Chains A and B, each alone.
Chain A
Amino acid sequence: MHTLRSSTLRLIRPPCRRYSTAAPSAASRLNLPIDYRSSPLLHHSSASLSNNLELPESTTSKSLNMYQAINSALRTALTASNQVMLFGEDVAFGGVFRCSMDLQSEFGSDRVFNTPLTEQGIVGFAIGAAAEGMRPVAEIQFADYVFPAFDQIVNEAAKFRYREGNTEANAGGMVVRMPCGAVGHGALYHTQSPEALFAHVPGVRVVMPRSPSQAKGLLLASIFEHNDPVIFMEPKILYRAAVEHVPSEYYTIPLSKAEIVKPGNDLTIVSYGQPMYLCSAAIAAAEKAMGVNIELIDLRTIYPWDRQTVLDSVTKTGRAIVVHESMINYGVGAEVAATIQDGAFLRLEAPVKRVAGWSTHTGLEFEKFILPDVARIYDAIKQTLEY
C-alpha cells in the first residue's frame, strides 16, 4: 500500500517526495519544486562558463554537483600548499556529505584527519595551527553545531590579529566550513543558518556560495587570498541538487564582491545561498505576470559585504527586497535594508521589504510555512511594485 501510494505520487509529479519538503498543492503555480536542471543560475554547458568574466578563460571543465566542487577545491588547495590541512568530525572517510572523499588517501593522515567530537576543540585547534602559519580548513558537521565553538570564533579567532598588534601573529589562515540551511526535514538542529550571528563580529569574513562553480572559487579565495578567518557556509540542500560545469583548474572568486546575476530596472532583489533559486523563480513569474524587469543580486560574501553594488542598483531601480532563509529578526536583511535607507533614501519609492524565515524555530512539519518560498517572494515583489 505504502509503495503503491508513493509510486502513484511519483507518476503524478515526479520530483515530489514523501517528506514535508516539497509537497505543494496540486494547483501550485509558484511554489513548485526548484528544477536545478533548468535554472538560469547554473552553467549547464561549458560554453556558458566563458560568458562569466570572473571565471578563468579557455579552461577544461567538468560537470559537478556542489559537494564534488568543494571536494575539487579542497584537493586543489591541498595540492597547492602543504600549509593546508583539513580536519573535523568524520572527515577522514570522506565526510558525512562526501566533501572530503579520497583526500586522506591522496594527501595522508597527517594533513587530512578526524578530530574528537568537540566543536570548541576543532576551532581552537584551527586557530592555534593558523597562528603558527598553517592554513587549516576546519569542518563543523552542521552549522547548527557551531555554537560550542562560538567563544573560540568570536573572542579568539576574530580578535587574534587585533590583540597581537606588533607581534603580527594572527589566525588569518583558517577557514571554518559548515553545511547550513534547510533540506526539508532537518527540523531544529539540521536546518539553521547562523550567518547573521557571525556578521555581527568584526574580524571574521562570512561567505555563502549559491552554486558549485561559486563554491570552488570562493572557497579557494577564502583559503589563499585572505589572511582573515573565514566562516564558509555551504547550503547543504545544494550538495547534490545543484549541478553545473566547474573549471578544473585553480581559480578564485573575490570575497566582499556581490554579483549582479540578472540586470533589471524596476526592482532590486538581494539574496545569497539557496534562496537565490527561489528569487529567480519568483522573478520569472513576476516578470511574466507584471511585465517588469527585476535585478537580482547575489551578495556571496555576507560580511564585510559589497554595499556599493547594492546601493548602485537601488539608486537605479528605487525599490528593494532582501531575501534570506535565516530568520528575519536582526537578520542580514536588517543590515542591508538599513544601509539602503541610509545610502539611497532619496531614490526609494517603496519601503525595503524583507522576506525571511519567521522568528520561530523550524519545527519538522512546519518548515514550508516558516521559510521563504516563491509565493512569498512573488507577493513581496507585487506589494513593492504596487506601493
Chain B
Amino acid sequence: MSLNLLGRFARSPRVALNRVPRRWSSISQRPGSDRVQFPGAVNSKFTTEMSFINPTDLPSIPTFRVMNSDGELLDPNRKPLGVSNEEILTWYKNMLAVSVMDVVMFEAQRQGRLSFYMVSAGEEGISVGSAAALTPDDVVFAQYRETGVFQQRGFTLKDFMSQLFANCNDNGRGRNMPVHYGSKYPRIHAISSPLATQIPQASGAAYALKLQSLQNPDIPPRIVACYFGEGAASEGDFHAGLNIAATRSSPVVFICRNNGYAISTPTLEQYRGDGIASRGVGYGIDTIRVDGNDIFAVYEAMQEARRIALSDGGRPVLIEAMSYRVSHHSTSDDSFAYRARVEVEDWKRRDNPIIRLRKWLENQGLWNEDLERETRDKMRKDVLKAFGEAEREKKPPIREAFTDVYEEITEEAEAQMKELKRILETYPDEYDLRQYQDGVKGI
C-alpha cells in the first residue's frame, strides 16, 4: 500500500517531490556504464580491485601559512594583504589586550577575587584574525576561548569586567559563570557551557540570515561564524551541525581551534583521523587547515571563507586552525598533571601569534621595544582600573534570578518571589543583601 501511495504522489504535480534536488535522473543503471548509479553515491566508478582506503596512506591536509615564525612573508609574489598598517596594528593591540587581561584575571582568580577564569594564551591570533574578516552584521556563536573575538568586535574592558564580576552592568544579568560573555551588537550569542551545542544552532542561524536576505533584498548578505575546539568536535552536535549546514546550504563558517588538548585529553585520544579538517570533506564542505599562530593566514582564510559561504546561494566552510594551548585549561586545572612543563615552555618560546606579528611589525618599522613596554603598562593599568570599578559595583537586583525564564514572569514565579521576599524579611541576619542593587526591595 505504501508503495502504491508513493507512486501516486511521485506522479502528482501537486506534490513537491520534483522540486527537491535529486542526485540521479533514473533509478536504473545505464547498460555498459562504468560507474554506479545508486542514489546514495552517484558517479562512483566500478572497480574489480578490492582495496580498502587506509586513511594513513592519504597525505595529511597541508597547513596554510603566510608568514614564518620570524615574521617574514613566505611568498614574495603573493598579492598584498589589502589591510592597512593601522588596522594590523589594531589587531596586534587587541591580541595584546587579551593577553594582558588574561594574566591579570588569572592571578585575580588565584587570589580568590573571581570565581573562575579561562585564558586564551596561544590562541589570540585565531580569534582576532578571524573576527577581523567579519562585518559587524555577521553573527558569532562561540565556545568560550574566543575572548579575542569579543575584543576585536568592540567589547570594552567594562563589558568584560562587568561579566567577570557578574555585576549590575553585566549583559548576562549576573547569571552566567565568568568568561560566558555575550554581545548584542555586533552580535555574539551568550556563551553556554555545554560543548558543541552552538554548532547546529549556528547552522540554523545562518539559514535564517540567508532566508531573510532572500525575502528582503535590503538586508545585506550575512554569515554566521561558529567557533569550537577539537574536543567539542567529538560531540554529536558537531556531526549534526555540519551535516545539516551542508544539506541546507547555510552560509556558516565553522572555525575549529585545534590546540592539542581537551582539558587533559591529547588529540590521539580524541580522534585517529587527520584532525578535524579531514571530516569537513566527508560532509561535502569546503575545508582548509591554517596555521593558527599566523594571524595573516587566519585572516585571509576567513575572508575567503566568508566569500565562499555567501556564494552559490550559501555554502558552509570549515577552517581548522592549528595552535597549542599554552595555558592551563582553566583556573580549575593544573595542566602539569598531564603534560610536561618543558613542552609548554618550548611552545611558548618557539612560537606564538603575538610574538610573530610583533616581529612583522618590527620588520616594518611600525613597532619597537619602547612602544611595547608603554602599551603593556597602559593596558595593565586600564585593566586594573576597570577591575576595581567592576568589583565595587553592586550585583544585579535579586529579581533578576526570576526574570527572563519566560518572556513574562509566570504566576508561579511571582508566588515564589513573594515567598523568597518573606523569607529574606523574616530572617534578615541570614542573608547579606548589601551587595545587591536595592537590597530586599530588589525583589
Residues of A within 8 A of B (CB): 82, 85, 92-94, 102, 104-105, 108-116, 118, 120-134, 136, 148, 151-152, 155-156, 159, 161-170, 172, 202-203, 205, 226-228, 256, 304, 307-308
Q: Which residues of A contact B201 (CB under 8 A)?
A: 124-125, 127-128, 131, 156
Taking CB atoms, residues of chain A closer than 8 Å to B171 are: 164-167
Q: Is B211 part of the binding interface, using a Cβ–Cβ cutoff of 8 Å?
A: yes
Contact of A156 with B207 in the complex, beta carbons under 8 Å: no
- Among B202, B211, B244, B407, contact of A172 (Cβ-Cβ < 8 Å): B407
* Cβ–Cβ contact A167 & B244, under 8 A: no
Whether A169 and B20, one on each chain, are in contact in the complex, defined by CB atoms closer than 8 angstroms, is no
- Tell me, yes or no, whether B19 is within 8 Å of chain A by CB: yes
The interface residues of chain B lying within 8 Å CB-to-CB of A169 are: 182, 184, 187, 189-190
**A124 to B, closest residue via Cβ:** B200
Give 4 closest A-B pairs by Cβ, nearest first: A124-B200, A128-B204, A121-B240, A125-B204
Could you show 27 A-B contacts with beta carbons less than 8 Å apart? A92-B17, A92-B20, A93-B16, A93-B17, A104-B16, A104-B19, A109-B20, A121-B239, A121-B244, A122-B244, A124-B204, A124-B241, A128-B200, A129-B208, A132-B209, A133-B212, A156-B192, A163-B172, A163-B190, A165-B171, A165-B400, A166-B172, A167-B190, A202-B405, A205-B406, A304-B406, A304-B410
Residue pair A124, B190 in contact (C-beta under 8 Å): no
A164 touches B20 (CB 8 A): no
Contacts of A134 in B (CB 8 A): 208, 211-212
What residues on B are CB-neighbors of A116 within 8 Å? Answer: 240, 243-244, 247
Q: Tell me the dominant secondary structure on chain A's binding face.
A: mixed
Q: Which residues of A contact B184 (CB under 8 A)?
A: 166-169
Most buried by A among B16, B173, B180, B199: B16
Q: Which residues of A contact B247 (CB under 8 A)?
A: 115-116
Instruction: Please determine whether B205 and A132 come into contact, CB atoms closer than 8 angstroms.
Output: yes
- Report Cα–Cα, A155/B191, bound state, in Å: 12
Q: Are B182 and A165 in contact (CB under 8 A)?
A: yes
Binary contact readout B399-414 vs A (1 if CB under 8 angstroms, 0 otherwise): 0100011110011100
Q: Assuming the A-B contacts A85-B211, A156-B194, are A118 and B189 also in contact, with contact meaning beta carbons closer than 8 angstroms in the complex?
A: no
Within 8 Å CB of A127, what residues of B?
200-201, 204
Q: Which of A113, A128, A156 has the most CB of B within 10 A?
A: A128
Residues of B close to A124: CB separation below 8 A = 197, 199-201, 203-204, 237, 240-241, 244
Q: Mark B322-340, 1 if CB is under 8 A from A, else 0.
A: 0000000000000000000
A110-B211, A128-B205, A156-B194 are known; give 14 further A-B pairs, CB within 8 A. A93-B17, A102-B15, A105-B16, A109-B19, A115-B244, A120-B240, A124-B237, A127-B204, A128-B204, A148-B236, A162-B404, A165-B400, A166-B173, A167-B189
Min Cβ gap B160→A in Å is 15
Q: Across the interface, which residues of B come within 8 angstroms of A131, CB to CB? A: 189, 201, 204-205, 208
Contact A165 B173 (CB under 8 A): yes
Question: Considering only CB atoms, which chain A residue lies closest to B244 in the complex?
Answer: A121
